[in-house]
Structure formats: C-alpha cells, structure tokens
Amino acid sequence: MGARPVTEHVIRVPLTIVNVFLIVLPEGITMVDAGTRRSFTRVASAVRCLGRKPEEITDIVVTHLHADHTGGLAEARAATGARVWMHAADAQMVGAGRSRRPTRPAPGSVPGKLFGLFAGITSATIAPVAADGLVNDREEIPVAGGLLPVWTPGHTEGHVAYL
C-alpha cells in the first residue's frame, strides 16, 4: 500500500499494524509516530514519492510509547536527525528502551487469554531514544507551523493527540 493523502498537507503512510502520518510543508516534514522496527524504509519511500528527501523530516511527534508507534523511532531519528517530541510521562520510558508499563490481566480465563495474545504482538523493549522536547497539555510546540498537544491519558499515561 502506498501513501495516501488525508488533506493537502497530511499524508497517511500505512504500515503493517499502524499508520505513520506525515505533515508536509515547504519548510520541512513532520512525522507523527514512527511505526514498528524497520518501518522507516517504507516511510522514506513515501517521502521520495512526494518528490522530497527523507532528510527533510525535521521533527517526529510521538502520540504514545507503545512499540507500534516508537519501535522505529531510533532508526528514523538516525536517518534524519529529526527532533523527537513526546509527553514526559512516556518519554522517560522510551528513553529507557521500554514500550509499555508492567501490566497484568483482569481476572478470568478469557481476559487472561486475550492478555497473552496482546502481550505477544508487540515488544516490551525498543531501542532507547531520548526526547529533544517534552510536550505539555495545550502548550503549542514549534513544529509544523505550530502543533497543539492535548494530553489524553488512558491508553498510556503520556498519550497525546495533536491539533
């Protein structure tokens, strides 16, 4: 599957189990999340199809720490030199190479089986990446013309949506 436009400046890059979004502006490209390990090859290909270079990715904003969103972060940063932005509650864990907090299943056999299935889908560890910038609830960051992070804890402690 190739990249698909969402709006004039937002491109969706479908990966195996998640999407990466690109905010494409004349002054640079911002990635929203980094996908799983080895995802950057597909992202770089999508950028080239837009007539741009992967090195034009200047920033990566992370929505949350799970490995399907941060597993490719180290590779993307190494390839582009992009600044990484995320909420402090998840940034500490990503910096330590962890992609999820310790969890346990709810009581019962069905929740236990579902928990075991989910735990095997994504890795608990990733290549560690330190955040260059920490985002705070409703404090605009100087990325893609100005993004407004909205802290939405629940899925993870540091989950963020960007406006």
Contact between 62 and 70 (Cβ < 8 Å): yes
Considering the entire predicted model, what is its pTM? Answer: 0.89
Contact between 84 and 32 (Cβ < 8 Å): no
Domain count, the chain: 1
Q: Quote the pLDDT of residue 17.
A: 85
75, 87, 86, 70: which is closest to 124 by C-alpha?
70
Q: Quote the pLDDT of residue 115.
A: 59
86 backbone dihedrals φ, ψ, rounded to 5°: -165, 170
Q: Quote the pLDDT of residue 16.
A: 82
Range of the domain at 45: 4-162
CATH number of the domain enclosing 12: 3.60.15.10
Buried b (16+ CB within 10 A) or exposed e, 97-129: ebbbeeeeeeeeeeeeeeeeeeeeebbeebeeb
Token pair belonging to 2: 């190739």
Contact between 30 and 65 (Cβ < 8 Å): no
β-pair partners for 44: none
Q: Quote the pLDDT of residue 101.
A: 74
CA-based max dimension of the chain: 53
The pLDDT tens digits along the chain (163 residues) read 589 999 999 999 999 889 999 999 999 999 999 999 999 999 999 999 999 999 999 999 999 999 999 999 999 999 999 999 999 999 999 999 999 876 656 677 776 666 566 555 567 899 999 999 999 999 999 999 999 999 999 889 999 999 9
Contact between 93 and 63 (Cβ < 8 Å): no
